[in-house]
Amino acid sequence: MRGCHPRCDRGEVDIIGPSEGLVASSILAGRTSLAPFLAAGKLCSNVSWGCPQLQMTSPGLTTIASASSRHADEPRLRGDLAIWFIIALEMLTFGVMFVSYAFARSVDLALFNASQATLDLRAGALNTVLLLTGSWCVARAVHALRADASRNGARWLAAAIACGLGFMVSKGAELGQKFAAGIDMSTNTFYMFYVMLTAFHFMHVAAAVVLLVIVWTQARRGAYADGNMHTPETVAAFWHMVDLLWIVLFPLVYVMR
């Protein structure tokens, strides 16, 4: 999209609205209708696209955003800023817990090694694969929705939800097994951390799955498209954070022994 400068040839009218950037890619892909959204800029009856690679005109009412040619290349934080503050907070909280665990372990190695022996490495590995695959599905879903392929996007979201549910079943079974064996947070220092970390993380996976379900129901109705990706991107960021936390948690608790 570099160097594409839209120019209105006739019928230019100013409109006021929230700016979201331009769907130049959809124009070049041959679509004649744009995703409905308001752009701070102008309505134009005939837009000329002066691109080095391509000269074309779009007759009919078209929305163009001001400075649209710059939007595609500007650095963007995907998703609502609020979710990024939440992500920062969660990273801080879990970060403190991870480091506390590591230092608690270093002063009571024998206890930790003995208790860690009761953990199932393979179950942890399965959980890792489920979350990573879920993340891939979420990334794929975002790409699909951005390319205005709603149905595909919904399918990828459904796959991600399945991965999340798989994780919850697996992790739920693991925790249930521990509780049934009489283990809880007060058993010893290792188990205190183990229960705290895995249960707290579990709740975040559950929250992420709920958010994915909400986005999935909307995606199925075609609610999302390029220029209207704020909610899917926000939820995607949260999901990826949950995966990112597990990436540290798994080796720390299940492998380092």
Shortest approach of other proteins to residue 191 CB, angstroms? 19
4 vs 15, 48, 168, CA distance in Å? 21, 10, 47
**How many angstroms separate the CA atoms of 1 and 52, rounded?**
10
Q: Which is nearer to other proteins, 7 or 76 (CB)?
A: 76
Q: Which is nearer to other proteins, 56 or 255 (CB)?
A: 255
Q: Which is nearer to other proteins, 220 or 257 (CB)?
A: 257
**How many angstroms separate the CA atoms of 134 and 204, rounded?**
14
**How many angstroms separate the CA atoms of 95 and 99, rounded?**
6
Shortest approach of other proteins to residue 44 CB, angstroms? 29
Q: Which is nearer to other proteins, 16 or 81 (CB)?
A: 81
Q: Which is nearer to other proteins, 38 or 257 (CB)?
A: 257
**How many angstroms separate the CA atoms of 249 and 171, rounded?**
13
Give the count of beta carbons closer than 10 Å to the beta carbon of residue 93: 12
| β-strand partners of 58 | 47
**How many angstroms separate the CA atoms of 198 and 210, rounded?**
18
Shortest approach of other proteins to residue 128 CB, angstroms? 5
**How many angstroms separate the CA atoms of 189 and 203, rounded?**
21
Q: Which is nearer to other proteins, 109 or 214 (CB)?
A: 109
Q: Which is nearer to other proteins, 68 or 128 (CB)?
A: 128
Name the site residues for other proteins (rule: CB under 8 A): 75-78, 84, 87-88, 91-92, 95, 98-99, 102-103, 105-106, 109, 113, 121-122, 125, 128-129, 132-133, 135-136, 138-140, 143, 233, 236-237, 240-241, 243-244, 247-248, 250-252, 254-257
> Helix or strand or coil: residue 76?
coil
Shortest approach of other proteins to residue 9 CB, angstroms? 32
Shortest approach of other proteins to residue 201 CB, angstroms? 14
Shortest approach of other proteins to residue 72 CB, angstroms? 10
Shortest approach of other proteins to residue 121 CB, angstroms? 5
Q: Which tokens is 95 given? A: 């970060």
**How many angstroms separate the CA atoms of 220 and 10, rounded?**
38
**How many angstroms separate the CA atoms of 222 and 154, rounded?**
9
